[in-house]
Amino acid sequence: MIEFQHVFKSYGRGRNILADINFRVTAGEFVFVSGPSGAGKSTLLKLIGGLEAASRGSIQVNGQRLDKLPARARPYLRRAVGVILQDTHLLYDRSAFENVMLPLAVTGQPLESAASRARAALDKVGLAGKEDANPIELSGGEQQRLAIARAIVNRPAILIADEPTANLDRETALRIMNVFRDFNRVGVTTLIASHDVELMAQYAHRVLRIDPGRFADSHPTPMSPPAPSGATGAAGLGSAASVSQQATTERGQA
């Protein structure tokens, strides 16, 4: 599903942000990406999402070699990978519903179908009834869930998030994590960058640790998993396999 082989990333003639990174994530895994600020966590996620290109090495995502991917195929990759960045890039002059509708409008979805999927995505993250709210009227946790709804409305096979629980209180952070866990349980490959060691320790998931000059891959021993707090189910999302097949079919028709 995701594979890095001898990947390097630098900007201009500066030092390598990532150096000789090698790992493989299989379909349906839940993986944390950990490390101090500036270690390259955000850069690694942007490489997976096709938002940036590696300086050297091979990256394969959802069956596609990114360095070999033609420009016309990149929109299909972005549909298969839902991305939530630290800056959620919500549109504050639009409603919550319109924010979630935007990715569907870009792909030319029929209006009725797009509206139904947008409402379903908002419902899955616990924002049913908030369709008409402006993002500025939402709490920090609700804004983060709105960003998740926008990321999953295209039914991606892969979901990546950069510090989605930063600056949130513990209860809200656990609620956000339970949203990700629900999607992972129906087969969505999930990668989350975090520096919250205590939070990561509560989940039995693999950790890719990035430090300046060092890369480690480990499976930590978890503490007792947190009880769900306001988590919502992901029924209706569809399996990752069906999403991947849909993306493959669309690429073939392009």
Mean of the per-residue pLDDT values of the chain? 84
Helix residue ranges, H only, the chain: 41-48, 74-80, 96-106, 111-124, 140-152, 170-185, 197-201, 240-253
Segment 176-201 shows an average pLDDT of: 91
Domains of the chain, start order = 2-253 (3.40.50.300)
The CA-atom distances, in angstroms, between 221 and each of 65, 107, 179, 181, 204 are 33, 42, 22, 18, 7
As beta bridge partners, residue 31 has 191, 206
pLDDT at 203: 85
What digits encode the pLDDT tens for the residues 63-118? 889 988 887 887 778 789 999 998 889 999 999 999 999 999 888 889 999 999 99
What digits encode the pLDDT tens for the residues 126-148? 999 999 999 999 999 999 999 99
pLDDT at 187: 94
Exposed, middle or buried by CB within 10 Å (0-12, 13-18, 19+), for 8? middle
Provide the pLDDT confidence category of residue 220 given band limits of 50, 70 and 90.
low
pLDDT at 189: 97
The residue to which tokens 């890369």 are assigned: 215
